Amino acid sequence: MNAPLTRLYRIAWLACSGVVCGGVWGNEEKVGGEEGLTQAGVQAAFQILRKDYIRGEDLNFEQLNRAALEGLIEHLGGGAKVVPVAEAQVAVGEPEVRQSVLADGIGWIRPITFGVEEVALWTAALQKLKGQGCETVLLDLREAAGAGSFEVAAALLETVVPSGQVLFKLKQSGSAETDVRVSSKEPVWTGQVVVLVDGDTGNVGEAVAAVLQHQRRALVVGEKTRGATVRYQTLPLDAQFALQYASAELLLEDGSSLFQKGLEPDLVVGMEAEEKEAALERMAQGRVRELVHEVARERFNEAALVARRNPELEVYLKRSAGEETEDEKPPPTDAVLQRAVDAVQAKETLGRTKLSWKVPMEDGSKKEEILKAPKAVPVTGSR
């Protein structure tokens, strides 16, 4: 048996000895906060239940151990979970980075597995969008990928962060030292960046988004993330199950952590599960632009007349026959993508207009006079 697994079993044994079997922990710290039970009170509760509970046979050693493990995992809040061995060993799928030009000057890329093989695909996608005249890129990190490596996160960040800039720090379990990751390459992309996230974003995508937001290099759009900015390690428990737990934590440049907190977007935009699923299907078909630009219903116009067809009559006939029409079921859209594109285009529009919205001065200087129309005076007299 390897050392980490031995320590795990020892912790479980100590938990049972101290909480269930009435062992001594060596302190009287209160459980559940300042007003909670003392450790002695917790032990007393277990002893009373094992002795006088009406179904004491249900409180055997095995059941209490299982309850203690379930409670511990719930308390860790995403820091650990028991998973089937088959799930822990499942293949991550083929590497792929989808890309598209959504609007004039706005590109979009979305990695699928967040594996090391996708770093080169990600870099090539950025270069291609740059060659297509894109000045802003939307990094879509909403893919529900499995637990990935922060080495991949660092490699992805190096494509958009200047050389010599601190990316993040890694704090290993049981160590007081932190491993500082610094960008060592010149960035491939130097234009504007918008990052899309939600509750499905994995630990690698969340790390990329957190670093770019912290360094004020990207606008983050979407929903709050899970707060899974940790490196997971998986060890077998038996022939069927394995324990997946956090063994290292990602810290931002200032030492702050997002673990169990999550990343708050700059622009909050939500989507229902069904909408997300429909959008993913369109993306897989390479029809991502359709999720942003809504197509107006066909009308009987000059183009239809030339084509010798009447779209409105066709819809009427379908409805008369009880058939479903496209108008009754509008095509899927991606609200997060739409709002991100809107934000970029609004910024560009305001930048071109060069508006000057002056704020009232507080130092007593003369304010700019605003011309006002004369007050209307009612006209009296007979007609």
| Residue-range domains of the chain with CATH | 3-76 (no CATH), 97-268 (3.90.226.10), 275-353 (no CATH)
- The pTM of the full predicted model, rounded to 2 decimals, is 0.74
Tens of pLDDT, residue by residue over 297-334, are: 666 677 766 777 776 666 666 767 767 666 656 788 99
φ, ψ dihedrals at 305, nearest 5°: -65, -40
Q: Which helix (H) or strand (E) covers residue 101, if one does? A: strand 97-103
E strands within 237-332? 241-251, 267-268
User: Once rounded to an integer, what is the mean pLDDT over residues 100-126?
Assistant: 96
Tens of pLDDT, residue by residue over 243-254, are: 988 889 999 999
E strands within 261-339? 267-268
User: Once rounded to an integer, what is the mean pLDDT over residues 174-187?
Assistant: 89
Task: Give the separation between CA 101 and CA 137, rounded to whole angstroms.
Answer: 9
Most confident of 8-17, 288-297, 317-326: 288-297
Torsion of CA 126, 127, 128, 130, to 10 degrees: 90
Q: What percent of the chain has pLDDT over 90?
A: 47
